[in-house]
Amino acid sequence: MKKQITLLAVSLTAAFSFASCSSGPNARTGTVIGALGGAAAGGIIGHQSGRGLEGAAIGAGAGAIGGNVIGGAQDQRNERYYRRSARRSYY
């Protein structure tokens, strides 16, 4: 049990540290939502094999990475949009 709690704590710490990789608001939000959703899905899937806590930890890490990537892409797209619209407004 102690090993599983340690694994969960390390996984969540690593997952939430990815929020600093992309610093935009969508990336941070995506990281947190992805980690929570991944932990829920991983816990459900892991429970079926008798390893719910490990599944939740792995799901949280994978969800955080995926959420950060998707949120970072949204931030980049928004930045390009605002730069284009700023250039047009001066002409």
**Does residue 84 surpass a pLDDT of 80?**
yes
Range of the domain at 66: 2-89
For position 90, what pLDDT does the model report?
58
pLDDT of residue 65: 92
Question: In this predicted model, what pLDDT tens digit does every residue of 35-74 receive, in sequence order?
Answer: 999 999 999 999 998 988 889 999 999 999 999 999 999 9
Burial 53-77 (b: 16+ CB within 10 A, else e): bbbbbbbbbbbbbbbbbbbbebbee
Report the sign of the C-alpha dihedral through residues 84, 68, 32, 50, in that order: positive
Which distant-in-sequence residues (6+ apart) come within 8 Å of 41 by Cβ? 59, 63
Q: pTM score, two decimals?
A: 0.68
Number of domains in the chain: 1
